[in-house]
């Protein structure tokens, strides 16, 4: 004779069946979501492989060589995040920064049997920065080590180089909103701040140095003064075989705010245009110079160069997830 189940046991079995049904339903929902993601994103498979590679990355094996104690040229690379347009288009983030000196590029390849796989290429630089790095951090490793050299009669140069939309002007000039610029967040401002701080120290106050600013652009093979109504300038070689920009206007500045006003004035005159990558793209090379003079004679000079996009016109439809910055000292 079959034993009758107690009410308590029947209730437990009922709850267990409900849990199993709920689990099956959840698994079905997850499978549908995964299918929807896979269908809606053509790069889903490659992105999954990149994420898997990042999870298993051994950063200790990818450390780049240690930089020299004192070297005249330093090359740094900064990765930028995907912008809103790229995120909407479900573009791939193919750049990984596994250490402070290494950039890894993930390239999608296809075997003969049409199976996809990743080819991971690594490149070593003096410093690398991921997409979370601030302008202040980038400045510490690029332009800041050069500032004091101009107080010792040095000529320093820091330049931003990369494709359209890679963020060169954002790094060197500051944050932009349309044509409005906040220069206080860029390399221009940080160099100016350090220059005026050093001027107040006892070591350099006795030199009686004065600070001047110049700003010019190179566009279409010609040079224009951005602080003098875009006057056309000549570039000639003097008797000492030094290149001189003839007629370039130098304006004396007394504080950081004066220097930033010059930067904003020059940027407002800079040649720009719209591309499929950037609604407000810089189309010219610009050179912003901070000059120290002692009794009217050149003492030191810091040149901040913001280069135009280095790509061909046909490449303007493709944004890049990285940017590069370099510095040199003479």
pLDDT of residue 56: 82
Confidence band for 77, pLDDT divided at 50, 70 and 90: very high
Same domain, 158 and 202: yes
Which tokens hold the place of 76? 């740094």
Is 40 part of a structural domain of the chain?
Answer: no
Q: What's the domain count of the chain?
A: 2
pLDDT of residue 1: 52
- Give the bridge partners for 289, in sequence order: 214, 303
pLDDT at 158 over 90: yes
Comparison of pLDDT for 12 and 260, the residue scoring more: 260
Is 159 part of a structural domain of the chain?
Answer: yes
Same domain, 149 and 275: yes
Residue ranges for the binding site for ATP? 162-169
Which tokens hold the place of 227? 């602080």
**CB under 8 A, 24+ apart: contacts of 180-183:** 181/263, 181/264, 181/267, 183/260, 183/263, 183/264, 183/267
Same domain, 263 and 305: yes
User: Highest mean pLDDT: which of 157-166, 170-179, 193-202, 267-276?
Assistant: 193-202
How deeply is 221 buried, as exposed, middle or buried, from its count of CB atoms within 10 A (0-12, 13-18, 19+)? Answer: exposed
Q: Taking a C-beta distance cutoff of 8 angstroms, is the pair 305, 166 a contact? A: no
Is 223 part of a structural domain of the chain?
Answer: yes
pLDDT at 122 over 90: yes
Same domain, 116 and 214: no
Sign of CA dihedral 30, 36, 39, 43: negative
Is 188 part of a structural domain of the chain?
Answer: yes
pLDDT at 301 over 50: yes
pLDDT of residue 302: 97
Is 231 part of a structural domain of the chain?
Answer: yes
Confidence band for 179, pLDDT divided at 50, 70 and 90: low
pLDDT of residue 40: 59
The boundaries of the domain holding residue 220 are 134-310
pLDDT at 247 over 90: yes
Comparison of pLDDT for 32 and 12, the residue scoring more: 12
pLDDT of residue 294: 93
Residue position matching structure tokens 């004779």: 1
Same domain, 166 and 255: yes
Which tokens hold the place of 91? 């573009």
Q: What is the pTM of this model?
A: 0.75
pLDDT at 167 over 60: yes
Query: How many Å apart are CA 48 and CA 75, to the nearest integer?
Result: 31
Is 319 part of a structural domain of the chain?
Answer: no
Averaged over 149-156, what is the pLDDT? 95
Query: How many Å apart are CA 8 and CA 14, to the nearest integer?
Result: 10
Same domain, 177 and 241: yes
Same domain, 139 and 113: no
Mean pLDDT over each residue of the chain, to the nearest integer:
82
In terms of phi and psi (left: phi > 0; alpha: psi -120 to 50; beta: otherwise), the region of 247 is: left
Residue ranges for the binding site? 162-169
Confidence band for 69, pLDDT divided at 50, 70 and 90: low
Domain boundary among 132, 150, 167: 132
pLDDT at 88 over 50: yes
Query: How many Å apart are CA 148 and CA 237, to the nearest integer?
Result: 28
Is 51 part of a structural domain of the chain?
Answer: no
Query: How many Å apart are CA 213 and CA 137, to the nearest integer?
Result: 25
Is 111 part of a structural domain of the chain?
Answer: yes
Averaged over 27-46, what is the pLDDT? 67
């Amino acid at each position: 004779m079959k034993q009758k189940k107690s009410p308590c046991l029947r209730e437990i079995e009922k709850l267990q069946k409900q849990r199993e049904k709920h689990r099956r339903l959840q698994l079905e929902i997850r499978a549908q979501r995964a299918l929807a993601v896979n269908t809606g994103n053509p790069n889903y498979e490659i992105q999954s492989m990149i994420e898997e590679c990042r999870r298993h990355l051994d950063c200790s094996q990818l450390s780049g060589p240690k930089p020299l104690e004192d070297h005249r040229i330093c090359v740094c690379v900064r990765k930028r995040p995907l912008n809103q347009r790229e995120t909407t288009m479900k573009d791939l983030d193919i750049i990984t920064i596994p250490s402070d000196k290494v950039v890894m590029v993930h390239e999608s390849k296809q075997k003969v049997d049409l199976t996809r796989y990743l080819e991971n290429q690594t490149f070593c630089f003096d410093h690398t920065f991921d997409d979370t790095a601030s302008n202040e951090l980038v400045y510490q490793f690029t332009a800041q080590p050069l500032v004091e050299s101009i107080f010792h009669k040095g000529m320093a140069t820091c330049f931003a180089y990369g494709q359209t939309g890679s963020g060169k002007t954002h790094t060197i000039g500051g944050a932009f909103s349309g044509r409005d610029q906040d220069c206080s967040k860029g390399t221009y401002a940080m160099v100016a701040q350090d220059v005026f701080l050093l001027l107040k120290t006892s070591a350099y106050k006795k030199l009686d140095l004065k600070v001047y600013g110049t700003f010019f652009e190179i566009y279409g093979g010609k040079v224009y003064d951005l602080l003098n109504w875009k006057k056309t300038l000549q570039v000639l070689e003097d008797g000492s075989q030094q290149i001189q920009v003839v007629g370039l206007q130098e304006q004396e500045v007394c504080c950081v705010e004066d220097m930033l006003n010059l930067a904003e004035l020059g940027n407002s005159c800079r040649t720009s245009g719209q591309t499929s990558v950037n609604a407000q793209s810089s189309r010219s090379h610009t050179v912003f110079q901070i000059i120290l003079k002692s009794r009217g004679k050149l003492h030191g000079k810091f040149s901040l160069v913001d280069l135009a996009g280095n790509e061909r016109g046909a490449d303007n439809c493709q944004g890049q997830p990285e940017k590069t910055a370099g510095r040199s000292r003479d």
